[in-house]
A and B are shown apart, each in its own frame.
Chain A
Amino acid sequence: MNNRTVRFLLNPFERIAGFQALSWGFLGLVLSIGLAYFTDYHYHGLLHYGSAPNPVWWCFMAEHFIVWLIPALLFYIGGMLLSRSKIRALDVFGTVLFAQIPLLFTNLIVFLPFYKQMSAIDPTGPLQEQIAQASELMLQPGFWLGLWLSLVAFVFVIWMGYLMFKALAVSCNLKGTKLAILFCIGFFGGDFICRIIINLLYS
């Protein structure tokens, strides 16, 4: 991989923004919704994933849109207040959606049988039953491979976070403390708000 490619992977927004980023991001979003539906992999928030009691297709779609729109909206409002540049909503929403493309790879990893068994464990069920299911899972031949792939999935989540940071920096022209504060509000605060809203879909 040459320097140009590495640079693009770490900050694609120097080259892609606006409508172009929105188009590619939207394609990723549609694929991600499809994969999540077939694997029954729900987005509970920006940083929380797993099984959920609502298997209908629109629930997966709503989760994806919430996970995109809430942090993007927080970034946009914050950018309007903190940036000295005239920012465009198209850039903010487009780059944030593009930044979430790495989550597509985590959806692919979920296709493995190990994850299906893991997601079958009911976290609200009796503790003894959970331990029994987890013990059975550990004896499966693909367990360690699955565990390693979990770490790979984690790398993609970190990459998504890093891209969202860059998306905010480029689309809102923020630096230093302002950038760090707004990112924390949009990313972690966004995850919190997403979880509250998405939880309403399950009730």
Chain B
Amino acid sequence: MEEIKKKLPLHCPACESPLRVARLFCKSCETEVSGSFELPLFSRLTEKDQTFIIEFIKSSGSLKDMAKDMGISYPTVRNLLDDLIEKIKFLEKGGQNE
């Protein structure tokens, strides 16, 4: 049976507060680590933002190439990038993603 690809939840389904990592588990030796860890910044971004960053790296940071591949205009790609930069700055300052 094919394994279901689960989406990492970022917010508490009950109160919408940001979730933290409480338990890590090693699949091969079954070691468990417990504590309270913050999710890495990249994981706190939306799936759409993460895809954008991956595409940005894959195109060697060329916005022109990205625009061509995504079939959108250059300023639209630049605007997406600038908005993402603002979002990252906001998260770095301790803000919460929507």
Residues in A whose Cβ lies below 8 Å from that of B78 = 85-86, 173
Residues in B whose Cβ lies below 8 Å from that of A46 = none
A80-122 residues with Cβ-Cβ distance < 8 A to B are: 84-88, 91, 95
Contact B82 A85 (CB under 8 A): yes
Is the C-beta of B94 less than 8 angstroms from some C-beta in chain A?
A: no
Chain B contact patch, size range: 10 to 19
Is the C-beta of B72 less than 8 angstroms from some C-beta in chain A?
A: yes
Contact A170 B82 (CB under 8 A): no
Given A85-B82, A173-B82: A13 and B75 within 8 A (CB)? Answer: yes
Contact A17 B79 (CB under 8 A): no
Is the C-beta of B35 less than 8 angstroms from some C-beta in chain A?
A: no
A-B contact count (CB 8 A): 42
Give the residue of B74, B83, B86 whose beta carbon is less than 8 angstroms from that of A17: B74
**B64 — nearest CB in chain A belongs to which residue?**
A18
Give the residue of B76, B82, B86 whose beta carbon is less than 8 angstroms from that of A13: B76
Chain A contact patch, size range: 10 to 19
Is the C-beta of A16 less than 8 angstroms from some C-beta in chain B?
A: yes
Contact B79 A13 (CB under 8 A): no
B43-98 residues with Cβ-Cβ distance < 8 A to A are: 71-76, 78-79, 82-83, 86
Is the C-beta of A32 less than 8 angstroms from some C-beta in chain B?
A: no
Residues in B whose Cβ lies below 8 Å from that of A85 = 78-79, 82
Residues in B whose Cβ lies below 8 Å from that of A171 = 75
Closest CB in chain B relative to A57 CB, distance in Å: 34
Question: Per-residue 0/1 for A15-35: is the Cβ within 8 Å of any B Cβ (1 yes, 0 no)?
Answer: 111101100000000000000
> Which residues of chain A have a CB within 8 Å of any CB of chain B?
13-18, 20-21, 84-88, 91, 95, 170-171, 173
